[in-house]
Structure 1
Amino acid sequence: MVTNRVDSGEAARWVRDEAFARDQPFGPQTLPYGVVDPGDGPRVAVRLGDHALSLRSLAGELGPLADLVSGTSLDPLLAATRAEWSALRARLTELVTGASRPPGAELLPLADVRALLPFTVGDYVDFYSSRYHAENVGRIMRPDSEPLLPNWTHLPIGYHGRSSTVVVSGTEVVRPHGQRRGTPMPKFGPSGRLDIEAEVGFVCGGPLARRVPTSAAAEHVFGVVLVNDWSARDIQGWEYQPLGPFLGKSFATSVSAWVTPLDALAVARVPVPDIGHPRLPYLVEDSPWGLDLRLRVEWNGSVVSNPQFADMSYSFAQQLAHMTVNGAVVRPGDLFASGTVSGPLPEQRGCFLELSWGGRDEITLADGSTRTFLEDGDSVVVTATAPGEDGSVVGIAEVAGTVLPAPPTPWD
């Protein structure tokens, strides 16, 4: 992978100086890709601090690489190769750190543009790869049984989600309807236990492939987003036996508007925690693809959790290897998520089911209000950072959403 050293002392002055501070998560060390619309149509851009740099405006400086980013989505870029991704990143780094503004460069304040879902989502898979989360949920949902089922330490558990309900950060989320447990008949109505799951997502690209070994994962993963896997726990709890998630998950999944390239995370690579026994050969990594990402979950402005992605028991390379080992194809635009990121401490739990211990414990927010699950009007923002070159901070763009009341239905 290509990395690009950026010396903040040599920052070009045509870009606001704040974008080059070492502790600024969206400086030249990050350069995440997104799609913005300033009012006259969408364009591909990279983020620099609180601005979006239009790549269409840099076409004359990018040569043949311009075709990858001159359209209205990241789809052509995702269909390119790892070599092209790295070459484009290297050239963009030269341009934003150069001594003068490139001719025609269009730098747009984020406050003046609308961020769009940056790529066409193909297949969507959600995993369940935090041992702490799995054990906590097992203790909550199955208190009289072992918290981990026997297969969990042998394979990355996952399910196929609904890609048509993947939405960009900032999209409001409507409280879903569904069946809930009841006596003598199940109840139907709006979910009363609406939850979030703070996750990390991986955006696929490169050529079509089957049976991707862990050693080739970087050829088929373009970059990283944050994911909020909104979850209706009462609907999920009634329907998930004997099969996996369905209506309790499929109503909405939020993702970041900006995709941080995998190249930006070279310094953040760490070993995956020991699982307690040898892994099957197709899940063995020649070099580590765990990632040192530090997440933060805010509920109505109150920080309620700080999960650490380095605690996850399976890397994205292992997840991709498992996802394709049966012959399934990975394509540009496919998205897969890590599962809830949780840690060993109460303040590192990545969902409200865990934080409230199944609704038993109230969570006190900064304004003095208390919660167990989400109420209408509540907002949740998940952010993340990673270590970068020379002590810099790499950002993974926020994923945010606000809950709207359930609409009336024909059965009300």
Structure 2
Amino acid sequence: MAQIDETHDPGRRSWVASADGHPDFPVQNLPLGIFTPPDDSGPRAGVAIGDSILDLEALADTGLLSGETARAAQAAAGAALNGLFALGAGPRRALRARLSELLTDGSGAADQLRPLLHEAAPCTLHLPARVGDYTDFYVGIHHATNVGRVFRPDNPLLPNYKYVPIGYHGRTSSLVPSGTALHRPHGQRKAPDEAAPSFGPCRNLDFELELGIWIGPGNALGSPIPVAEAGEHIAGFCLLNDWSARDIQAWEYQPLGPFLAKNFGSTLSPWVITPEALAPFRTAQPPRPASDPAPLPYLADADDQQTGALALDLEVYLTTPLLRESGHAPVRLSQSSTRHMYWTAAQLVAHQTSNGCNLRPGDFLGSGTISAPEPTGLGSLLEMTQGGRAPMRLVTGEERRYLEDGDEVILRAHARRDGFVPIGFGECCGMVLAAR
């Protein structure tokens, strides 16, 4: 488990002027990603610092790195971070410590590193890794209960939910980085008052507020990862909007679950927030009600229950064409928290590998929609509008049951704790385009 150290010192300031007080990327964060500079010289690894990106490949050529730090930077070379993920926590921690040292005010490296900084705004951000396998879980118990009430009013939460971290294998081909617009999907849909299904554009397009989990070192086929060791197999975290075509989903999901309702696209925030950056924001897993079963032994670890949860504040914002034309800022739809996850990230890794399933560096897990118990913290429009029956009214007077063409959804996450500098994830945003 990552520990609090000098890289988290709230007194640290960076010679990169925009880093101090930055809402997402102060020197205490230092997330990793893949970017292409404005000169279109090709994708390469970078580190977000304030409003800039430090070219990690160029840094490796300066002679300022050695030993494990040089090994980590060399492994990150190219258009994906899979090689760095595969090295595990040791080299990653060493690289973070050295980056923190170099970017801190007074390091003496400013003159040498300034030419390696790129203004972030004109850069193109990519997915940080090649994703071999993607699993979407269902850890938001309030979301699961709310959705269950829509489809099964008399039995909203199925009996296996509190025993099994529910998940399903998705697809990797349509995972896209923040900023990628997605066309409204086509599919079969059948309303309750229709005698037969028809094929056409989705009528009930929705978003889902999720936490993404990047896998670092993998495991051999047939060798489960114990829950006590699962944290060492996590390379970092991001935000995930797992867009959902609710009308297509309602028709197709029985008996095997969603298919075309999900695989038209899922949006990821592009920066990998490392376990080391999040060390101060670890917290105890909220205690289960006395009536809930304890996790089975293969999912139970005392340390994970004490420090395996994350205290992240989550937000969802919406802009519409009319809001933008009227000069209105994005409207906040929801405030939730990762404290409402019923299972920890380590439990998800342990469960997926418990039957011997092998994970590989760059594999990706989604938490499932994270809703708060309060109406102000719901993680999807399906919940907010009670399945479309109670539309929400925006400041422009327009209503939304589900997303319309031209709408843009923005997810944000921040970690805050007294005595430490807040850090953020950067935005996870995507716009809905008309169906082709």
TM-score when scaled to structure 1? 0.94
1:184-237 per-residue CA deviation (whole Å, 9 max, x = no partner) reads 321110100000000000000114343111111121110000000000000000
In the alignment, which of 157, 166, 169 is matched to residue 148 of structure 1?
Answer: 157
Aligned match of 2:325: none
Q: Secondary structure at the residue paired with 2:87? A: coil
Q: CA deviation at 1:7?
A: 4.7
Please give the alpha-carbon distance, in whole angstroms, between the structure 2 residues aligned to 1:61 and 1:47.
Answer: 18
CA contact (8 A) 1:379 1:403 kept: yes
State the one-letter code of the partner of 2:205: L
Aligned match of 2:80: 73
Aligned match of 2:56: 55
Q: CA deviation at 1:10?
A: 5.0
Please give the alpha-carbon distance, in whole angstroms, between the structure 1 residues aligned to 2:394 and 2:237.
Answer: 30
Q: How does 1:130-141 map to 2 (within 5 A)?
A: 130-141=140-151
Please give the alpha-carbon distance, in whole angstroms, between the structure 1 residues aligned to 2:241 and 2:176.
Answer: 10
TM-score when scaled to structure 2? 0.89
Q: CA deviation at 1:102?
A: 5.7
Please give the alpha-carbon distance, in whole angstroms, between the structure 2 residues aligned to 1:113 and 1:305.
Answer: 29
1:236 aligns with 2:249: yes
CA distance 1:217–1:347, shift in 2 (3 Å)? same
Please give the alpha-carbon distance, in whole angstroms, between the structure 2 residues aligned to 1:386 and 1:8.
Answer: 14
1:116-141 per-residue CA deviation (whole Å, 9 max, x = no partner) reads 11110110000111110011000011
CA distance 1:227–1:95, shift in 2 (3 Å)? same
Q: Secondary structure at the residue paired with 1:237? A: helix
CA contact (8 A) 1:2 1:86 kept: no
CA distance 1:202–1:111, shift in 2 (3 Å)? same
1:86 aligns with 2:93: yes
CA distance 1:28–1:192, shift in 2 (3 Å)? same
Please give the alpha-carbon distance, in whole angstroms, between the structure 2 residues aligned to 1:253 and 1:12.
Answer: 34
| Structure 2: segments with no counterpart, 5+ residues | 320-329
Please give the alpha-carbon distance, in whole angstroms, between the structure 2 residues aligned to 1:130 and 1:11.
Answer: 37
Q: Secondary structure at the residue paired with 1:238? A: helix
Please give the alpha-carbon distance, in whole angstroms, between the structure 2 residues aligned to 1:119 and 1:2.
Answer: 25
CA contact (8 A) 1:285 1:318 kept: no
Q: How does 1:107-146 map to 2 (within 5 A)?
A: 107-143=117-153, 145-146=154-155
Please give the alpha-carbon distance, in whole angstroms, between the structure 2 residues aligned to 1:7 and 1:313.
Answer: 31
State the one-letter code of the partner of 1:185: A
Q: How does 1:388-399 map to 2 (within 5 A)?
A: 390-399=419-428
1:378 aligns with 2:407: yes
CA distance 1:7–1:318, shift in 2 (3 Å)? closer
Q: Which deviates more, 361-370 or 214-223?
A: 361-370
Please give the alpha-carbon distance, in whole angstroms, between the structure 2 residues aligned to 1:319 and 1:75.
Answer: 20
In the alignment, which of 357, 363, 381 is matched to residue 386 of structure 2?
Answer: 357
1:51-101 per-residue CA deviation (whole Å, 9 max, x = no partner) reads 111112211212233312332321211111211111111111111114231
CA contact (8 A) 1:178 1:189 kept: yes
CA contact (8 A) 2:9 2:420 kept: no
CA contact (8 A) 1:165 1:250 kept: yes
Q: Secondary structure at the residue paired with 1:298? A: strand
State the one-letter code of the partner of 2:318: W
Q: CA deviation at 1:159?
A: 0.7
Please give the alpha-carbon distance, in whole angstroms, between the structure 1 residues aligned to 2:378 and 2:361.
Answer: 32
1:166 aligns with 2:165: no
Please give the alpha-carbon distance, in whole angstroms, between the structure 2 residues aligned to 1:331 and 1:102.
Answer: 39
Q: CA deviation at 1:103?
A: 2.0
Q: Which deviates more, 74-83 or 128-137?
A: 74-83
Q: Secondary structure at the residue paired with 2:247? A: helix
CA contact (8 A) 1:198 1:229 kept: yes
Q: How does 1:215-364 map to 2 (within 5 A)?
A: 215-275=228-288, 276-287=292-303, 288-300=307-319, 301-364=330-393
CA distance 1:25–1:389, shift in 2 (3 Å)? farther
CA contact (8 A) 2:9 2:28 kept: no
Q: Which deviates more, 212-221 or 119-128?
A: 212-221
1:40 aligns with 2:56: no
Q: Secondary structure at the residue paired with 1:263? A: coil
CA contact (8 A) 2:406 2:433 kept: yes
Aligned match of 1:191: 202
| Structure 1: segments with no counterpart, 5+ residues | 408-412
Q: CA deviation at 1:390?
A: 3.1
CA contact (8 A) 1:4 1:93 kept: no
Aligned match of 1:410: none
Q: CA deviation at 1:271?
A: 2.1
Please give the alpha-carbon distance, in whole angstroms, between the structure 1 residues aligned to 2:253 and 2:218.
Answer: 35
State the one-letter code of the partner of 2:13: A
Q: Secondary structure at the residue paired with 2:173? A: helix
CA distance 1:2–1:271, shift in 2 (3 Å)? closer
Question: Percent identity among equivalent residues?
Answer: 43
Q: CA deviation at 1:24?
A: 3.0
Aligned match of 2:323: none
Structure 1 segments of 4 or more deviating over 4 A? 6-10
CA contact (8 A) 2:10 2:420 kept: no
State the one-letter code of the partner of 1:191: C
The number of residue pairs the alignment matches comes to 403
Please give the alpha-carbon distance, in whole angstroms, between the structure 2 residues aligned to 1:102 and 1:88.
Answer: 20
State the one-letter code of the partner of 2:42: G
1:163-195 per-residue CA deviation (whole Å, 9 max, x = no partner) reads 111000110011111111253321110100000
State the one-letter code of the partner of 1:118: P
Q: CA deviation at 1:2?
A: 4.4
CA contact (8 A) 1:61 1:102 kept: no
CA distance 1:20–1:205, shift in 2 (3 Å)? same
Q: Which deviates more, 345-354 or 274-283?
A: 274-283
